[in-house]
Chain A
Amino acid sequence: MFTKLKSLLYNNEVRAIVFQALAVVVIAYFAYQAFDNMMLNIEQRGIRSGFGFLNDEAGFAVNDNFFLEYSPASTNLQAFYVGIVNTLIVAITGIFFASVIGLIVGIARLSSNYLVRKMATVYIEIFRNIPILLQILFWYSIALKVLPSARNSMSFMDSVFLNSRGLYLPKPIMGTDFYFVLASLVIGIVAYVFIRKRSNKKHDETGINTNTIPHFLGLVLLLPIVVYFSFGAQLEYPALKGFNFRGGIDLSIEFFALAFSLSIYTATYIAEAIRSGVESVDVGQKEAAAALGLKNSRAMRLVILPQALRVAIPPIINQYLNLTKNSSLAAAVGYTELVTIFSGTVLNVVGQAIEIIMLTMLVYLTISLVISLILNIFNKKMQIKGG
């Protein structure tokens, strides 16, 4: 009996399982103790706990609010939603422009033109090596200094205004006709997808290429606009009343400073990812494309980039996640995103640090996981199939 037990003890597999189980128990116990201790302290000190505060009146104003209903009479929960939407908007804007700039600069870095190549290198080396917080503060103070005051705004056709407080655009007034516009947009997209599929099929069968860009412009852009104006469209124009512009769409200068800094900072990393991707493609591919008579730009678009992206996507995913997390530096310039609104103002008013910080972390975790999920799916699609 004893020898049997002993042999079990000296069995590597059994040992491994025992140690791992022990480790799990210890970690779980520590976590439980920490949580229990926290709850005990909260109770003994009479600190309010739980999520009841979410239904309390927020009582403060939010500067940037794109489409949600919000006023100081709204609840903390609504303020939380405004924060999430603002974080998403600045992250999506940043990701879009960072990708575009990154792609262009990454390719420019490999250009055969000396000036273009060097300029791309200088751009990358400068902006990649300065901390993002400093860049945000720098561009913000530049914007404040360079742009005119509200009363001396730059204006374009008396409907778009730019000053040191933000950009003011005319806003379409959403009536019932808005649904017709939406419907026409959907119809346009469906029709375009159909046309595109047919032209692809034609290309596969006959090798004749059809340019579908005019179709795209006509169906997806022009059609909704035509429908919109044929229903007697009305625009709400921003106008200077008193101290500020009122009406229209108002994009704050803080939003621009943050989105701009995040874009040009993250673009440097994306450019490097693109470059390493392009360099990983065998030279023979480029030569073969040239031998087939493809122009440089077409060779890049049809042969090199699809292969380069396979290598470039994983590091680019990381950069998208970094950009999203870096958007929390907005507190420095006063763009009202999640951290500023919720972990800042609401936390100060309510004082329940544990709940509020936990909710904030949960949001960032969710956003990050969703971004990486989407891009992982995209990554799988880009990989060589059956390989």
Chain B
Amino acid sequence: MNQLLKLSAASILAISAYGVQASVFHSNTLEDVQSKGSLTCGVSTGTPGFSSPDSSGHWSGVDVDVCRAVAAATLGDSNKVKFVPLTAKERFVALSSGEIDMLSRNTTWTHTRDTSLGLTFAGVNYYDGQGFMVKKSLGVNDVSELDGASFCIQAGTTTELNLADYFRSNKMSFKAVTYDTSAQTKAGFEAGRCDALTSDVSQLAGLRSTLKDPSSAVVLGNVISKEPLGPVVRKDDNKWLNIVRWSLNAMIEAEELGITSATIDDASTSPGVQRLQGKSGKLNESLGLSKDWSRNIIAQVGNYGESFERNIGMSTPIQLPRGVNQLWIKGGILYAPAFR
């Protein structure tokens, strides 16, 4: 009798507790991050220059720097980031389920992703486009010569859709072999399974440099799509969206103002610089952050240009030119809304 009573009481308690617990719903990411004392950031499983770990497990890359900037703004320390490597298929589920606080994993900003996944893109940290790498021996100089060719593609990317769109609109035929990882895609291309490999331009140069014989392949000049890559957050937390968006903007603004990690603490009479240093204005209040949030980003991570040159610039093995990712005042399209 007693046992039965105890058991039923326990199960009723468990059920009601479970019921209450289950419907609790996280919408204050900032509070979560600050109480945890670290930011959980979803990154790629290894894309050189964007997000990849070194031999000692230290993550670096332009995507990683966005995570670090948000950690510097919210926690005052750019190293308080827990990186979660995710495949292309896993990334959105990981974010919407709350496993990660933000996603910064060369993710293309598309209409569908922005409107139907319960997620919001916080900005663009790299303007990419889809390009092609072909075997030099084919003697091909332009995509239009690739009618009927086979393409190696990595699964779970917008690449598959762009390729189909391009060939449909140009009334050309093609064959696509879709692999799971970029290593397999490269292996398929090297073994001659396909005539061309297609991927984001930012990745082609890196892939080509890791071929057994890089001179056997050429990257074509064609770019067939727009791939604005940027950080993503959950839709239900506007405050957090603003924090991520303006952390990225702070890096771009700092480059425009000419301040770097080395010069951020130098005295300046410019009101714009002073606002970024946290010495004047109240930009922090509406974000719910401390006064030195943007100063911490620049001091610890650097401005956008520093991050670019350190990770993917001409002095790195990736050797990407700034191109459209140059500031608007220097002929690019990088443009941070006004800091005031």
Q: Which residues of A line the B interface, CB within 8 A?
A: 6, 9, 15, 18, 22, 26, 29-30, 33-34, 36-37, 40-42, 44-48, 59-63, 72-73, 141, 144-145, 149-150, 164-165, 241-244, 246, 252-254, 331-334, 336, 340, 343-345, 347-351, 353
Once A61-B176, A141-B187 are accepted as A-B contacts, the answer to whether A243 and B235 lie under 8 Å apart by CB is no
In the complex, which of the residues A244, A246, A351 contacts B113, with contact meaning CB atoms closer than 8 Å?
A351
* Assembled-state Cα–Cα distance A349/B187 (Å): 25
Contact A47 B117, beta carbon cutoff 8 Å: yes
B96: CB under 8 A from chain A? Answer: yes
B314: CB under 8 A from chain A? Answer: no
Once A45-B236, A141-B187, A345-B178 are accepted as A-B contacts, the answer to whether A243 and B160 lie under 8 Å apart by CB is no
Which residues of B, 131-181, contact A by the 8 Å Cβ criterion? 138, 146-150, 155-157, 160-161, 163-165, 168, 173-180
Q: Which residues of B line the A interface, CB within 8 A?
A: 1, 4, 7-8, 11, 15, 18-19, 22-23, 25, 88-89, 92-93, 96, 112-113, 116-118, 138, 146-150, 155-157, 160-161, 163-165, 168, 173-180, 184, 187-188, 191-195, 234-236
Contact A72 B168, beta carbon cutoff 8 Å: yes
Distance in Å: Cβ of A115 to nearest Cβ of chain B: 36
Chain A residues whose CB sits within 8 angstroms of the CB of B179 once the complex forms: 333-334
* Assembled-state Cα–Cα distance A345/B163 (Å): 13
Once A41-B25, A241-B148 are accepted as A-B contacts, the answer to whether A46 and B118 lie under 8 Å apart by CB is yes
| Contacts A/B (CB < 8 Å), 10 sampled | A33-B18, A45-B235, A60-B161, A72-B168, A73-B168, A345-B178, A349-B112, A350-B112, A351-B116, A351-B117
Distance in Å: Cβ of B340 to nearest Cβ of chain A: 31
Contact A30 B8, beta carbon cutoff 8 Å: no
Chain B residues whose CB sits within 8 angstroms of the CB of A46 once the complex forms: 118, 235-236
Once A34-B22, A63-B177 are accepted as A-B contacts, the answer to whether A244 and B118 lie under 8 Å apart by CB is no
Contact A60 B164, beta carbon cutoff 8 Å: yes
* Assembled-state Cα–Cα distance A62/B192 (Å): 19
Distance in Å: Cβ of B234 to nearest Cβ of chain A: 6
In the complex, which of the residues B11, B150, B235 contacts A244, with contact meaning CB atoms closer than 8 Å?
B150
Distance in Å: Cβ of B290 to nearest Cβ of chain A: 29
* Assembled-state Cα–Cα distance A30/B15 (Å): 7
* Assembled-state Cα–Cα distance A334/B10 (Å): 50
Distance in Å: Cβ of B238 to nearest Cβ of chain A: 13
* Assembled-state Cα–Cα distance A316/B96 (Å): 42
* Assembled-state Cα–Cα distance A246/B150 (Å): 12
Chain B residues whose CB sits within 8 angstroms of the CB of A350 once the complex forms: 112, 116
Distance in Å: Cβ of B166 to nearest Cβ of chain A: 10
Chain A residues whose CB sits within 8 angstroms of the CB of B163 once the complex forms: 60-61
In the complex, which of the residues A141, A254, A351 contacts B112, with contact meaning CB atoms closer than 8 Å?
A351
Q: Who on chain B is nearest to A40 by CB?
A: B23
Distance in Å: Cβ of B110 to nearest Cβ of chain A: 9
Distance in Å: Cβ of B324 to nearest Cβ of chain A: 25
Distance in Å: Cβ of B42 to nearest Cβ of chain A: 15
In the complex, which of the residues B146, B173, B193 contacts A165, with contact meaning CB atoms closer than 8 Å?
B193
Distance in Å: Cβ of B66 to nearest Cβ of chain A: 22
In the complex, which of the residues B148, B164, B187 contacts A59, with contact meaning CB atoms closer than 8 Å?
B164
In the complex, which of the residues A33, A34, A149 contacts B192, with contact meaning CB atoms closer than 8 Å?
A149
Interface centre among A59, A61, A73, A332 (most CB of B within 10 A): A61
Distance in Å: Cβ of A345 to nearest Cβ of chain B: 6
Distance in Å: Cβ of B89 to nearest Cβ of chain A: 6
In the complex, which of the residues A45, A59, A340, A348 contacts B118, with contact meaning CB atoms closer than 8 Å?
A45
Q: Who on chain A is nearest to B22 by CB?
A: A37
Chain A residues whose CB sits within 8 angstroms of the CB of B175 once the complex forms: 61, 63, 244
Contact A340 B155, beta carbon cutoff 8 Å: yes
* Assembled-state Cα–Cα distance A145/B193 (Å): 10
Contact A144 B188, beta carbon cutoff 8 Å: yes
Q: Who on chain A is nearest to B173 by CB?
A: A246
Chain A residues whose CB sits within 8 angstroms of the CB of B4 once the complex forms: 9, 15, 18
Chain A residues whose CB sits within 8 angstroms of the CB of B193 once the complex forms: 144, 164-165, 253
Distance in Å: Cβ of B58 to nearest Cβ of chain A: 29
Contact A63 B178, beta carbon cutoff 8 Å: yes
* Assembled-state Cα–Cα distance A36/B25 (Å): 13
Chain A residues whose CB sits within 8 angstroms of the CB of B188 once the complex forms: 144, 334
Chain A residues whose CB sits within 8 angstroms of the CB of B176 once the complex forms: 60-63
Contact B15 A29, beta carbon cutoff 8 Å: yes
Q: Who on chain B is nearest to A343 by CB?
A: B89
Chain A residues whose CB sits within 8 angstroms of the CB of B112 once the complex forms: 349-351
Contact A59 B180, beta carbon cutoff 8 Å: no
* Assembled-state Cα–Cα distance A247/B23 (Å): 57
* Assembled-state Cα–Cα distance A60/B118 (Å): 24
Contact B22 A349, beta carbon cutoff 8 Å: no
Contact A33 B148, beta carbon cutoff 8 Å: no
* Assembled-state Cα–Cα distance A61/B194 (Å): 15
Chain A residues whose CB sits within 8 angstroms of the CB of B168 once the complex forms: 72-73
